[in-house]
Amino acid sequence: MSYLFPTYNRLDIELVAGKGAKVKDSTGRSYLDFIAGIAVCNLGHSPVPVKKAVEEQLNKVWHVSNLFQISQQEQAAKLLALASGLDAVFFCNSGAEANEAAIKLAKKHTGKTKILSFKQSFHGRTFATMSATGQEKIHSGFGPLLPAFEYLPYNDEDTLAKVDGEDIAAIMVEVIQGEGGVNPGKETFLKEVEKKCEELGALLIIDEVQTGIGRTGAPFAYQHHGLNPDIITAAKGLGSGFPVGAMIGRKELVSTFSPGTHGSTFGGNPLAMAAVKATLETIFDDDFLNGVKSKSDTFIRSLKEKLEPSPSVKEVKGKGFMIGIELETEAKESIELLRNSGLLTLPAGPNVIRLLPPLTVTEAELEEALGILIETLQAHETEAVR
Helix (H, G, I), strand (E, B) or coil at 138: helix
Identified binder of ligand PLP from the candidate list 45, 109, 123, 215, rule CB under 6 A: 123
Nearest to 222 by CA among 283, 176, 286, 182: 176
Q: Say how far apart CA 193 and CA 187 lie, in whole Å.
A: 10
Contact window for ligand PLP (CB under 6 A) among 92-100, 186-194, 216-224, 348-356: 92-100
Closest CB 173 distance from ligand PLP, rounded Å: 10
Q: Say how far apart CA 18 and CA 201 lie, in whole Å.
A: 47
- Sequential DSSP letters for 286-306: HHHHHHHHHHHHHHHHHHHHH
Contact window for ligand PLP (CB under 6 A) among 6-14, 72-80, 116-124, 190-198: 116-124
Residues 179-198 contacting ligand PLP, CB under 6 A? 179
3-state secondary structure 51-116: HHHHHHHHCCCCCCCCCCCCHHHHHHHHHHHHHHCCCEEEEECCHHHHHHHHHHHHHHHHCCCEEE
Q: Does 174 bind ligand PLP (CB under 6 A)?
A: yes
Identified binder of ligand PLP from the candidate list 18, 20, 47, 95, rule CB under 6 A: 95
Q: Taken in order 182, 93, 146, 149, is the CA torsion positive or negative? A: negative
- Beta carbon nearer to ligand PLP, 54 or 175: 175
Identified binder of ligand PLP from the candidate list 100, 207, 326, 365, rule CB under 6 A: 207
Q: Does 94 bind ligand PLP (CB under 6 A)?
A: yes
Q: Say how far apart CA 64 and CA 54 lie, in whole Å.
A: 15
Q: Does 299 bind ligand PLP (CB under 6 A)?
A: no
Q: Say how far apart CA 275 and CA 54 lie, in whole Å.
A: 6
Inter-residue contact 222 to 229 (CB < 8 Å) = yes
Q: Does 348 bind ligand PLP (CB under 6 A)?
A: no
Helix (H, G, I), strand (E, B) or coil at 373: helix
Q: Does 365 bind ligand PLP (CB under 6 A)?
A: no
- Beta carbon nearer to ligand PLP, 121 or 376: 121
Q: Say how far apart CA 248 and CA 57 lie, in whole Å.
A: 24
Inter-residue contact 357 to 21 (CB < 8 Å) = yes
Which residue is closest to ligand PLP by CB? 95
Q: Say how far apart CA 224 and CA 208 lie, in whole Å.
A: 13
Q: Does 100 bind ligand PLP (CB under 6 A)?
A: no
Q: Does 326 bind ligand PLP (CB under 6 A)?
A: no
Q: Does 235 bind ligand PLP (CB under 6 A)?
A: yes
Q: Does 124 bind ligand PLP (CB under 6 A)?
A: yes
Contact window for ligand PLP (CB under 6 A) among 93-101, 102-110, 150-158, 283-291: 93-101
Identified binder of ligand PLP from the candidate list 84, 155, 210, 334, rule CB under 6 A: 210
- Beta carbon nearer to ligand PLP, 182 or 373: 182
For ligand PLP (CB under 6 A), the number of binding residues is 15
- Beta carbon nearer to ligand PLP, 179 or 194: 179
Q: For the chain, how long is the longest CA-to-CA vector? A: 67
Closest CB 130 distance from ligand PLP, rounded Å: 10
Residue numbers at the binding site for ligand PLP (CB under 6 A): 94-96, 99, 122-124, 174, 178-179, 207, 209-210, 235-236
